[in-house]
Amino acid sequence: MEYARGKLMVASFLTLVASGIGFATRTAAGGPWEREFNLGGGEFGAILGAGFLGFGLMIFFGGILVEKFGYKKLLTIAFLLHLVSAGMLFAANPLFAGWQETDPENATSNVFSVLFWSAFVFSICQGLYEAVINPLIAQLYPENKTHYLNILHAGWPAGMILGGIFAACFIGENAWITELPWQYGLASFSIVVIAYGVMALPEKFPETVGETAGSFATVFSCFASIPFLVLIVLHGLIGYMELGVDSWMTKLMENLLPNSIIILVYTSFLMFVLRFFAGPIVHRVNPIGLLLGSSVISCLGLLWLGSPIQSVAMIFVAATFYSFGKAFLWPTMLGVAGERYPQSGSVAMGALGAVGMICVGQIAGPRIGAQQGYELSQHLEESAPETYARYEGSEPTSSWGYEYTPLDAAKLNAANGIEVDSGTVETAAIEEAKLIPEEEKPALIANAATDVPAVQASYLFGGRRALTLTAYIPGMMAIGFLGLLIYFRSIGGYKVLRFDEELGKAVPIEGHGHGESESDVVDSEAATSF
């Protein structure tokens, strides 16, 4: 049966555009949330983490559900839940205003819960999308899975470009045009959601592997492969590095660029171009070799970004280098899963995506935030102890092995919002900050000339240190991919497989070796176990 695969490809692409817009605008919401709700860096990191937690859980279980119930039903559920997530954003401000009157002590924690669960519902939608679109595109384009999966995942950076530009223009105090209510920016993804819903939901979808294989247990056979378990671990590290760093990029680059969202837009643009035109690259290079090279470049790129660069031009050069490293990692890993485990359908891809997203939400986001907060506090306490005493928060924290007292979120946000020009420091941001106690403002204003530059310098130091500390992750990835490259050479080279329904197992596709010169015949045990 013929399917409108071009139309389904565009609709699948738009689901990632919507996810990218939501991701980019949420990363820019830290400032407005600090001002309006007094949310600190730890709470902001937790919300960012929630934006991946549901993704990780649902992409795996969604893969099983896809094999059981088909593509269309899950896509419809995701469509509806995405609109629910947008509605929760608009409810946050009125609810917070009511809580300030009836329960002021818990108003901040209550609104944090609303934002947390909105992000969680959003992430469930992302997980359902990934569970559907990855195996769908692999099934619609069996002759060139890795190429079309790279094109598909260009939708993610495309969404981040659109969301990043929108955020730069309309979200936060440094908005290029004007600052709009943050909820309009964060809910802008719903426009794309409606567009793909209108396009895709009326269409017919193909049957999944689970629906056609005869035995539902066949789709779980990938877990019997030791190399596949290695891929799962490596994909968790990819999620930590790529999306963990992207989650914090705008926060880590504050005070270094006129509007830190620019760096996210720029790196997203590079990823979009590289993924969209990845065909010639993935055809000429062994996928495992591409993953190995990308890991090495990513490691060096993070070390470069974490170095004490002062020139804006050099920041963008370093970001360009890093983008070349991370661009192909996620979709190429999904391509490897599709090419080596065709009998597992969406389950193999879902398992990789699940581990990657859970690692981002539960490890990378909170850990990178803890690293940045710890290094910031330690640097300020050592370099300017009097300033640290004025900006120190009231409660110590312990997170991921880091024990420290973070800076007061309202004071830190006010200091970061001040432009320091030739030693002149405007104090309006401190004076107008509603969440700074009035009795503490005179001391902050009187010492602003020395305090603000010190706070901004420490904030920048903390961000750079967080990037440097993250560089060991792609270093570990490089070691893992080198091991897989050696493994493939030991069994005759990397081969693309297809699922043969008559034989009930995966067999090699003749002439599809991604540049390898290996024999056309692959050991049958290797073909079915990896």
pLDDT digits (tens, 9 = 90+) for 459-499: 889 888 988 999 999 999 999 999 999 999 999 888 888 76
Task: Check residue 356 and give its pLDDT.
Answer: 87
Q: What is the mean pLDDT of residues 505-517?
A: 58
Question: How confident is the model at residue 254, as a pLDDT?
Answer: 61
DSSP labels, 480-528: HHHHHHHHHHHTTS---EEEETTTTEEEEPTT-STT----S---HHHHH
- Res 374 pLDDT > 90: yes
Mean pLDDT of 122-133: 91
What's the confidence (pLDDT) of residue 63? 83
The reported pLDDT for the residue numbered 518 is 35
Question: What is the pLDDT, as a whole number, of residue 257?
Answer: 66
pLDDT at site 52: 72
Most confident listed range (233-242, 315-324, 339-348): 233-242
Between 9 and 410, whose confidence is greater?
9
- The pLDDT of residue 514 is above 70: no
Count of positions (residues) in the chain: 530
pLDDT at 214 over 50: yes
Residue with the bigger pLDDT between 285 and 230: it is 230
pLDDT beyond 60 at 436: yes
Is there a contact between 361 and 56 (Cβ–Cβ < 8 Å)?
yes
The yes-or-no verdict on residue 64 having pLDDT over 80 is: yes
Task: Tell me the average pLDDT of the chain.
Answer: 85
Please report, for the chain, the start and end positions of each structural domain, with discontinuous segments joined by +: 1-206, 220-501
Tell me what the mean pLDDT of segment 422-450 comes to.
Answer: 87
Distance CA 358, CA 235 (A): 11
What digits encode the pLDDT tens for the residues 25-47? 988 887 788 788 988 767 887 88
Q: Provide the sign of the torsion angle of the four alpha carbons 334, 335, 341, 344, taken in this order.
A: positive
Tell me the CATH class for 1-206. Answer: mainly alpha
Residue 527 has pLDDT above 50, yes or no: no
Higher pLDDT, 418 or 181: 181
Q: Calculate mean pLDDT across residues 74-85.
A: 94
Query: Using 50, 70 and 90 to split pLDDT, how confident is the model at 79?
Result: very high
Domains 1-206 and 220-501 share a fold: yes
Name the token pair of 469.
């500390």
The larger pLDDT score, comparing residue 435 to residue 56, is at 435
For the chain, the first-to-last Cα distance in angstroms comes to 30
Residue 160: its pLDDT value, please?
Answer: 86
For residue 17, pLDDT over 90 is answered with yes
The topology under which CATH files domain 220-501 is: Growth Hormone; Chain: A; (1.20.1250)
Q: Is there a contact between 355 and 235 (Cβ–Cβ < 8 Å)?
A: yes
- Lowest-confidence region among 14-28, 34-48, 324-338: 34-48
Look at residue 54 in the predicted model and tell me its pLDDT.
77
DSSP per-residue codes, 366-400: HHHHHHHHHHHHHHHHHH-HHHHHHHB-SS-EEET
Handedness of CA 487, 235, 16, 180 (dihedral sign): negative
Averaged over 325-343, what is the pLDDT?
A: 89
**From the DSSP assignment, how many helices (H) and strands (E) are in the chain?**
25, 6
Q: What pLDDT is recorded for position 316?
A: 84
What pLDDT, on the 0 to 100 scale, is given for residue 360? 78
pLDDT mean over 220-225: 89
Question: pLDDT at position 23, please?
Answer: 84
Mean pLDDT confidence for 229-242: 94
Question: Quick one: pLDDT at residue 522?
Answer: 34
**Which of 52-56, 119-123, 414-418 is most confident?**
119-123
pLDDT at 525: 33
> Whole-angstrom Cα distance, residue 458 to residue 380?
5
Residue 120 pLDDT > 90, yes or no?
Answer: yes
pLDDT above 70 covers a percentage of the chain that reads 88
Most confident option among 77-86, 207-216, 266-275, 508-517: 77-86
Q: What's the mean pLDDT in 331-344? A: 89
Average pLDDT, integer, range 235-239: 94
Q: Is the pLDDT of residue 8 over 70?
A: yes
Residue reference for tokens 């192909």: 328
Number of neighbouring beta carbons within 10 Å of residue 100: 16
| Tens digits of residue pLDDT in 258-270 | 666 777 788 888 8
pLDDT confidence of residue 1: 58
Predicted confidence (pLDDT) at residue 147 exceeds the cutoff of 90: no
CB 190 within 8 A of CB 181: no
